[in-house]
Every structure is written in structure tokens, then in C-alpha cells.
Amino acid sequence: MPVAASLGTSARQSPDAFFNDLHGAYRQAEEAGGGTVERFFRVGGHVLRLQFAGGSLVEPLSAAFAHLACEPVARPALSVRLFDSASTATPPPRAPWTPSDVREGGVVEAWSDARFHTVLQITVGLLTMLDRQRRLALCWVRRAEDLPMPERAAPLRRLVHGWMAEHGQLLVHGGAVGFADGGVLLAGQEGAGKSTSALACLLSPLLYASDDYCLLHMGPKLSVNSLYSTGKTHPSDLARLPFLAPMVTNRTALGGEKALYLLHRHVPHKITAGFPLRAVLMPRPTGGRETLLRPASSGAMLRALAPSTVLLLPQTAKQTLSDLADLARRVPLYELSLGTDPTGIPATIIDLLAGLGVGASKASSATPDVSIR
Amino acid sequence: MRSQARFRVNAPGVVAEAVDDEVIIINLHTGTYYSLSQAGAAVWESLEAGTTLGDAIGSVQGHYQEEPAVIAKALEDFVVELEAERLIVPGAEDDTADRAGDARPVPPLVAPHPVADQPLREFVAPRLEPYIDMKNLIQLDPVLAVDERGWPVTERR
């Protein structure tokens, strides 16, 4: 029974001790759930192993990574062990923190340091805890059925953010489309048209890396790495992009949430693992028919990309903001004034990339390239 | 005027970055972000670098077509706004001696000096305009109730 009480009033437990207790609960869940289901993915060039206690979390928390599936390896860069309480009848250990320990972004402050990264998403009912030293993370979910659509579209993103930062890759709030030899990042706040722009490109020779979150590798050569092969739109956008209708996975829930697409199941040939980054575009709906490009300022790019990216992991905000300012200085920046004709969006992007010497051979194909399974 | 006052960015809850002629400021506690340009950006960068308020104002005055006193008043008001939003706080070397109750008129400590070969620009008093579209991302999930093991109970349970 729920009780209106403070969290964890008992003596404070160290991150290491709590991690061990949580791992013990995972082991119990493995037995109760009838064994382990393993999945391997190559994320930003590093192998991620997901180990599920039982089967209830496999679909909701791994389907978005399907395009990155790879062969098993003996020593993955990170193993994540996941369990839920509802299907395994295994409770998590007693929570050792108080509500005031849970800070912006769900980070549990006193249980996060150079070694551990602990995030509690209260309304989702999901905890992730990363132990960088052991290259091991744990994920607890109260009940698989309660995972909301945004979590299924972009699972474990706060954990991935903490992990990939070690590898010089920044989780950014942006879409990405392009060719193997170069592409663009689509930056903008909620409602700017990132998803519509990225998904409209499925009807073109452009490849799809993301509509909402992707990894930015800030090396000598900037590149984008895909993370999720999902897409989301408002149900009303299906009128403009009717080819998406057969791909909707949450048809019965459309009254209360966005339509979710598991694109890898329908258009696997259109999904890419990534490409060199050549420009950043800021979509903006205009109501006009034509899609147009015009140069944008570095400030406009930071306003479009930085706040929502920085707030994903406030603890690294200063470095993240500095990295994004660096990005703004290194690539051309444009406002993408979106026309009502969706075919104009990929055409405009292809023209831009051609001008940058990218994708010339692919762009010559004028045939719409979406065959849906 | 608090001419000798120094300020610092209210880190770690506030982060800021300058690109070209614009400064982006993000308050990580509220999710609110701000964009500063022209005189506002210049004052921010001066204060962030540890310059006194008087010197920060003086460094701006020489770039604009306006009476120095008008510019100084507008920038002082702007700094009050920055403080009210908790984006900056008094720095360690803040000279409190000339703070409260000191309403002396401005004269800048650094005399306005026009910048050679650059035309003076029209002065627009900076204003702090918050963007609040990120607040839903940062709002902490409320803990309405917890179960017997101390874990928050989700709504759908």
C-alpha cells in the first residue's frame, strides 16, 4: 500500500553498497523470470549488451536499438542488466535516498559521482545506475506496461548519455538525415518540425539516423551516430505523411499520445548508423508551400539545440554548452523554413548537401525510396 | 551606483556561453533560458570576466550613440534584472562600501572612449527576455506517495 512518507529514512547507504543490493535483486529476478534474454548492439562504435531478467522489458526497451544489433562479444563496453518488479515479483531494495536527493533530470545527487551515475525517473517508475568502474549498469522498472511512449521511443537515454560521454560522444536533442558521406543535424525545440522533416526524408534517397535524439561525436571530424530507429509524430501529421500510417505501433493510444513508428521493421534499408556531420539545420514551420534555406547565426543554433540538450544531463551542462558552441563554429548553419509540401524538405536538404560535395551519386536518384514491409 | 561591485555567474545552477555577438544563458534549476545581444551581451561578458560594474559600463559606453548617463542607467537596471533572476550573484571582491543607499549619479570610472574606425551604434536598452518552453523538461517529478520500501508510486499503478 502506498504511504505518504518520506523516502528512505534509514541510515544512508553508499552507492557501492546500494548497487550491490540492486544487483542482488536483479539476480533474484533472473531466477523468478525464468532466465535471461540477451541483446547486443553497436552504439557509437561501442558494444552494448542488454541482459533482461525475463521477457517483459525486451520489446519496450530494446526495439528502438534494433538497427544497431550486432554479434555477441565476450567483453562488451557496457552491460546493462534490466528487471521489472511486476513480472518477476521481485521488489527493488529499499530506496536509500530522500526526495531532496533527486535533482534536475532525475539525477540522484549523492549516488552520482565520478564512478556512479544514478537517475530516477519518478513518474516513469524507472531507475538506472551506471558503475563506470565495472562497465556495468542496472535498470529497474516498476512495471513494463507503465513505460510511456517517449521511453519506448528513446529508451535508457539518460544512461546512454552518462555512458557515451566517456567515449567523447554527446547525446543531443536533434534529428539527423544524410548520406553515407555526410548529413545534417536537425535542431529545434518541441514542435519545430524535427520529426516531420526527418520522417519526410524517408521518401527520398536520404538515409535516416534520428528524429529526436542522436549521438554527436566531437572529434577532429564531426560525426553523427544513430541511437534509435524510431520516429514520432502527432497523429494529425499522418495527413501530410500518409505512408507512415501502416507503421504506427500504438494505434489504440493515439488519442493521448504521439504516433510511434519502429522504422527498422518497415524500412530497414533507410536507416543508417551514422555519417559525418556537414551542417546543422533549424526547422521552422512557415505555412508557405516551398521549403527554403537561409543562413542562421550561431546564437540561433544554440537557442535551438542547447537548452533541451543541456537539460538532459544538467551535471555536465557547462561542458555540453561549450561543445555545442564549438559545433556552431565548425559547420554551416541554416534555418530550414518548412513548406507544406513534404517532398520539398528532402529535396532542399539534398541540394544543400550536393553544394557541400556530399551525396552526389545518391542524389541523382529521383525515385521515391520507401518500400514498406 | 555600485561602481566597484563585481559579480560572478551563479554557477553551477547557471551556465552561459558566448557565440559571435550573442550570449546564451541557461538556468538549470528552472529550465528557463535567455539570449543577450549587443550591450547586454557585452556587459555580461565583462562581468563574467571579473570586471567591476563601473568598468563594464564604461567599456560599453564608447560604442553607442547615446549620453553616457543614459547608457549607464539602462545597464545598471539591466544588472539588477540579472541579479533578480539569480543569474549573477555578488562576487568575492564586491565592494559593499558603496552599495546600499548610495544613489550617486553615475560617472563611469572608465571614461567613454570611441572605438577608432568603428561607427557608433544606436543604443537599445537591454532587456532580459526569458524563454520558458523548456520548463516541462526540467520540472521535477513530484513524489506524491511512496511504497513500503521507500520507492515513489507512479500514477498508473
Q: Tell me, what's the pLDDT at A106? A: 85
Which residues, listed in sequence order, are joined to residue A333 by a DSSP beta bridge? Answer: A280
**Once rounded to an integer, what is the mean pLDDT over residues A305-329?**
92
Which of B19, B20, B156 is most worth mutating to test chain A (most A CB atoms within 10 A of its CB)? B19
Which residues, listed in sequence order, are joined to residue A225 by a DSSP beta bridge? Answer: A215, A274
Label the pairing between strands A333-338 and A292-295. antiparallel
Report the side by side order of strands in the sheet with B14-19.
Answer: B14-19, B22-27, B33-37, B130-131
Query: Is the CB of A311 less than 8 angstroms away from the CB of B26?
Result: yes
Which of B21, B22, B26 is most worth mutating to test chain A (most A CB atoms within 10 A of its CB)? B26
Q: Write down the residue that cell numbers 545598471 correspond to.
A: B76
A35 and A136 in contact (C-beta within 8 Å)?
no
User: How many residues are there in chain B?
Assistant: 157
A352 and A334 in contact (C-beta within 8 Å)?
yes
Which has the minimum average pLDDT: A7-16, A101-110, B96-105? B96-105
* Nearest Cα residue in chain B from A121: B141
Query: Cα(A304)–Cα(A306) distance, rounded to whole angstroms?
Result: 6
Which residues, listed in sequence order, are joined to residue A131 by a DSSP beta bridge? Answer: A116, A136
Report the SS3 class of residue A170: strand
Neighbours of A330 (CB within 10 A): 13
Share of chain A above pLDDT 90, in %: 80
pLDDT tens per residue across all 157 residues of chain B: 688 899 999 999 999 999 998 999 999 988 899 999 999 999 999 999 999 999 999 999 989 989 999 999 999 999 999 999 999 999 865 454 444 444 444 444 444 445 556 788 899 999 988 998 776 665 555 555 677 777 877 655 4
Q: Tell me, what's the pLDDT at B90? A: 94
Q: Write down the residue that cell numbers 550570449 correspond to.
A: B23
How close does chain B come to A278, measured CA to CA in Å? Answer: 19
Which has the minimum average pLDDT: A350-354, A366-370, B53-57, B98-102? B98-102
Between A137 and A372, the higher pLDDT residue = A137
Q: How confident is the model at residue A181 (pLDDT cuts 50, 70, 90)?
A: very high
Using a CB-CB cut-off of 8 Å, the residues of chain B touching A145 are: 156
Q: How confident is the model at residue A224 (pLDDT cuts 50, 70, 90)?
A: very high
Q: Which pLDDT tens digit goes with each residue over A226-244?
A: 999 999 999 999 999 999 9
**Once rounded to an integer, what is the mean pLDDT over residues A349-363?**
86
Q: Which pLDDT tens digit goes with each residue over A67-87?
A: 999 999 999 999 999 999 999
Sort A159 into a burial class: Cβ within 10 Å, 0-12 / 13-18 / 19+.
buried
Q: Which pLDDT tens digit goes with each residue over A107-162?
A: 898 899 999 999 998 888 899 999 999 999 999 999 999 999 999 999 999 999 99
Using a CB-CB cut-off of 8 Å, the residues of chain B touching A121 are: 141
Alpha-carbon torsion, ordered A82, A86, A91, A96, to 10 deg: 70
Q: Which of A193, A265, A180, A176 is nearest to A234 (CA)?
A: A193
Query: Terminal CA-to-CA distance of chain B, rounded, Å?
Result: 58
Q: Which pLDDT tens digit goes with each residue over A237-293?
A: 999 999 999 999 999 888 889 999 999 999 999 999 999 999 999 999 998 989 999
A282 and A301 in contact (C-beta within 8 Å)?
yes
Q: Where are the alpha helices (DSSP H) in chain A?
A: 15-32, 58-62, 85-88, 149-153, 157-164, 194-200, 263-266, 298-310, 317-330, 344-355, 360-363
Q: Tell me, what's the pLDDT at B97? A: 46
Query: Cα(B52)–Cα(B58) distance, rounded to whole angstroms?
Result: 10
How close does chain B come to A157, measured CA to CA in Å? Answer: 14
Handedness of CA B121, B127, B130, B131 (dihedral sign): negative
Using a CB-CB cut-off of 8 Å, the residues of chain A touching B31 are: 307, 311
Q: Tell me, what's the pLDDT at B117? A: 65
Label the pairing between strands A46-53 and A78-84. parallel
Of B29, B131, B156, the CB nearest to A146: B156
Using a CB-CB cut-off of 8 Å, the residues of chain A touching B18 are: 325
Q: Which of A227, A318, A220, A321 is nearest to A272 (CA)?
A: A227
Q: Which of A353, A351, A342 is nearest to A203 (CA)?
A: A342
pTM of the model: 0.88
